Structure 1
Amino acid sequence: MISTVLLKKYGASEIHLEKREILFKVDTQARYFYQVNSGKIKMNNFNEDGKEFIQGIFSSGASFGEPPLFAELKYPAQAEAVEKSSVWRLEKESFFKLLRENPETHLELTKVLAGRLHYKATMVAEISTESPEHRLLKLIDYFKTHIHKIPKEEPYLVELSRQQMADLTGLRVETVIRAIKSLEKKKMVQLQSHKILR
């Protein structure tokens, strides 16, 4: 999203994370802007029973955790490396200076945040009212068109695991497996070597 050149110009440093390493925890005060350089980062919570709920998965070029930074709040979720990853970290005041001095970048970031708000509002409605099949199709289509920018008419090979799909939609993994099989029978998705194609 924000170019590496611009991030470095304003003093960003690169942090390297191993798989499952925590970048920041729930209730930590937001002090930095973060953007994935390589690998994948997820923001997640756990309920009292230990069930994970994934707020989002972010790959190369995507930023994460900005709302608490803007609002001077603590993080409502933790950030964890899904795989070996590197992340750009920029101190809060330097980040705000970057945005003030680069209005086009500020506008692009605003568009991204607006898209995430729209996704959250859509998924809240889906989780509370729609069937597992419908929720999964919404999730897959969102990742296809908004995250990976693949045109609707082109095939999309889903990178998410069944467990990640469950954690993103509030479903049990067994329910996801059954729903995917049902969607395959209805010819709404295809399975290729256990991978989902939409």
Structure 2
Amino acid sequence: MKTISCMNIDVNLLYSLGAEDKMYKKKEMIFKEGDYAFYYFQIVRGKVKLNNYNEDGKEFIHNILGKNQSFGDPLIFLNQPYPMNAICLEASEIIRLPKDHFIKMLEEHPHISLEMNACFSQQVYYKLMMMQSMASQNPILRLKALLDYLKSFHGGDCNSCFELEMTRQQIANLTGLRVETVIRTLKKMEKEGSIQLKNRKILY
């Protein structure tokens, strides 16, 4: 099935509207749970994880995003705080555009607004599908739902064209499974032919 990736707005347009480049260090926080949205963020290079922690301090990862992907967009339209943190997994360069400039851009370029609506709709669809599968006790269904969800941000419908660069621990944090279960299940999925494992990377 053809998918729609996260927003990737032309950087020249963003700069013309007053966007700026920000450099972040590995493990540096871009925003934290409870902050309000004042910017549109788009990754030029690097990787960002969206996460939060439960009352026991256990991490739950919502997503890991990379080059040309945006994050935190929906909160721009809501007067609500972020429900998660955005943390750099490596040194990253990120474009940020002030919220009021972003809204003005959508008013002047309605096609971007339509693309964003399609992107949000696709994300909600896959998120709901993933949540349904996460209720399953079958670890293969959980991992497949996660892979389908993450692949939807990158587009494409070919076999083994999506490369997932995550540690087994990060996958465990995304699915609520034990690391040992993730490792065992991935090997089983490879044997069944649904994924390929190459240099510890997952091809789906």
TM-score by length of 2: 0.89
1:44-193 matches, within 5 Å, as: 44-144=51-151, 146-193=152-199
Aligned twin of 2:4: none
| 1:130 Cα offset (Å) | 4.8
Task: Quote the Cα distance in structure 2 between the aligned partners of 1:130 and 1:22.
Answer: 33
Structure 1 unmatched ranges of 5 or more: none
Residues 69, 92 of structure 1: 8 Å contact kept = yes
Q: Once structures 1 and 2 are overlaid, which stretch shifts more, 70-79 or 53-62? A: 53-62
Aligned length: 197
Task: Quote the Cα distance in structure 2 between the aligned partners of 1:56 and 1:157.
Answer: 15
Q: Does 1:195 align with 2:170?
A: no
Over 3 Å counting, the alpha-carbon distance change for 1:130 and 1:10 in structure 2 is farther
Task: Quote the Cα distance in structure 2 between the aligned partners of 1:35 and 1:56.
Answer: 15
Task: Quote the Cα distance in structure 2 between the aligned partners of 1:68 and 1:156.
Answer: 28
Q: Once structures 1 and 2 are overlaid, which stretch shifts more, 100-109 or 154-163? A: 154-163
Q: Once structures 1 and 2 are overlaid, which stretch shifts more, 107-116 or 152-161? A: 152-161
- Percent identity over paired residues: 41
Structure 2 counterpart SS, 1:42: strand
Task: Quote the Cα distance in structure 2 between the aligned partners of 1:68 and 1:133.
Answer: 32
| 1:2 Cα offset (Å) | 0.7
| 1:154 Cα offset (Å) | 4.8
| 1:54 Cα offset (Å) | 1.0
Please report the RMSD computed on the Cα atoms of aligned residues, expressed in angstroms.
1.6
Residues 160, 203 of structure 2: 8 Å contact kept = no
Which digits, 9 at most, give the CA deviation of each residue in 1:73-92, with x for residues without a partner?
10000100011111111111
Task: Kindly provide the amino acid, as one letter, of the partner of residue 158 in structure 2.
Answer: K
Q: Once structures 1 and 2 are overlaid, which stretch shifts more, 134-143 or 10-19? A: 134-143
Task: Quote the Cα distance in structure 1 between the aligned partners of 2:104 and 2:174.
Answer: 34
Structure 2 counterpart SS, 1:2: coil
Task: Kindly provide the amino acid, as one letter, of the partner of residue 87 in structure 2.
Answer: E
Task: Quote the Cα distance in structure 1 between the aligned partners of 2:75 and 2:161.
Answer: 36
Task: Kindly provide the amino acid, as one letter, of the partner of residue 2 in structure 1.
Answer: I
Task: Quote the Cα distance in structure 2 between the aligned partners of 1:154 and 1:168.
Answer: 21
Structure 1 counterpart SS, 2:55: coil
Structure with the larger RCO, 1 or 2 (CA within 8 Å, 6+ apart): 2
Task: Quote the Cα distance in structure 2 between the aligned partners of 1:132 and 1:44.
Answer: 21
Residues 63, 150 of structure 2: 8 Å contact kept = no
Structure 2 counterpart SS, 1:86: strand
Which digits, 9 at most, give the CA deviation of each residue in 1:59-115, with x for residues without a partner?
111111122220111000010001111111111111000000001111111111112
| 1:195 Cα offset (Å) | 2.7
Over 3 Å counting, the alpha-carbon distance change for 1:88 and 1:160 in structure 2 is same
Residues 123, 169 of structure 1: 8 Å contact kept = no
Structure 1 counterpart SS, 2:193: coil
Task: Kindly provide the amino acid, as one letter, of the partner of residue 173 in structure 2.
Answer: D
| 1:131 Cα offset (Å) | 1.3
